Amino acid sequence: MKIKSNHDLCKRCGEPVFLAEKIFAAGFSWHKLTCFRCKLCKNALDSLHLTVHDDEIFCSKCHVSLFNPCYYNINITK
Ligand SMILES: [Zn+2]
Ligand SMILES: [Zn+2]
């Protein structure tokens, strides 16, 4: 059992997140500027365009290439 603290901890870096820098997405808190980014390509995300997988956040491009390579290959066929 974890004791609930007053501060949310950032899912990515584990540091406390204060309200002014916090974004809540995928059931976790994140540092809006530094940590709310695609795990793979580190591009900034917004809450409308992120993809969640195993409690991590990715941009849709990385998510498709990581977890759905067949779909990805079909779509980039020239
Ligand atoms: Zn963080
Ligand atoms: Zn990405």
pLDDT digits (tens, 9 = 90+) for 21-60: 999 999 999 999 999 999 999 999 988 888 999 899 999 9
H or E element at residue 35: none
**Gap from CA of 21 to ligand 1 centroid (Å):** 9
Listed by start position, the domains of the chain span: 8-76
Report whether 56 contacts 39 (CB < 8 A).
yes
**Ligand 2 centroid from CA 44, angstroms:** 9
Residues 18, 24, 26: CA angle, nearest 5 degrees: 145
Largest CA distance in the chain: 53
Residue 29: its pLDDT value, please? 95
Per-residue pLDDT of 52-64, as tens digits, reads 998 999 999 999 8
Q: How many CB atoms lie within 10 A of CB 26?
A: 16
User: Per the confidence metrics, is the pTM higher than 0.85?
Assistant: no
Which numbered ligand comes closest to the C-alpha of 11? 1
For 8-76, CATH number out of 3.30.2130.30, 3.40.50.620, 2.10.110.10, 3.60.20.30 equals 2.10.110.10
Q: What is the 41 CA–ligand 2 centroid distance (Å)?
A: 4
Give, as one character, the DSSP assignment of residue 6: S
